[in-house]
Amino acid sequence: MLQGDFILKKTVREATPENYLKEQKLDLQSDRTSTHTFEGNQLRLWFTAIAYIFLNNLGEKCLVNTELKNATIGTIRTKLLKLGAVITIYKQRVLVLIAISSACPYKEGQAMIYERLSRLPYPG
């Protein structure tokens, strides 16, 4: 093995955890601890950790053969979870319907991910 190959492999192996931390910090804003209490900041950090685990598993289990298979957490969040929705409120009944807008560019991808999530085994 050449010296350069060894250094490259060692650098990539050491940089991967740093990239995961950077994704959580920048894409999910886990460093935003702006509440005045320790408990509030701790809860916010737990929420970002749970969101990271959810989005990471979503990428590993549902985005395998898609254009988002190598996407970062921020890209998955932006393209799949931030979507345009049509909200219909009926005043006669307490009923709110939320539907994906027909102009949403990732509508097919979201439908495919919903189908793949439905096929995953239920852990209970």
Residue-level pLDDT at 61: 83
Confidence of residue 95 (pLDDT cuts 50, 70, 90): low
Q: Whole-angstrom Cα distance, residue 124 to residue 122?
A: 6
pTM: 0.63
Calculate mean pLDDT across residues 34-55: 85
Q: What is the largest CA-CA distance in the chain?
A: 74
What's the pLDDT tens digit per position in 62-74? 888 888 888 888 8
CA distances, 64 to each of 27, 53, 81, 110, 116 (Å) = 21, 16, 17, 14, 10
pLDDT at 53: 84
User: By three-state DSSP, how is residue 81 classified?
Assistant: helix
* Residue 45: pLDDT band with limits 50, 70, 90: confident
Relative to beta strand 95-100, strand 85-90 is antiparallel
Specify the DSSP element, H or E, that contains 98.
strand 95-100
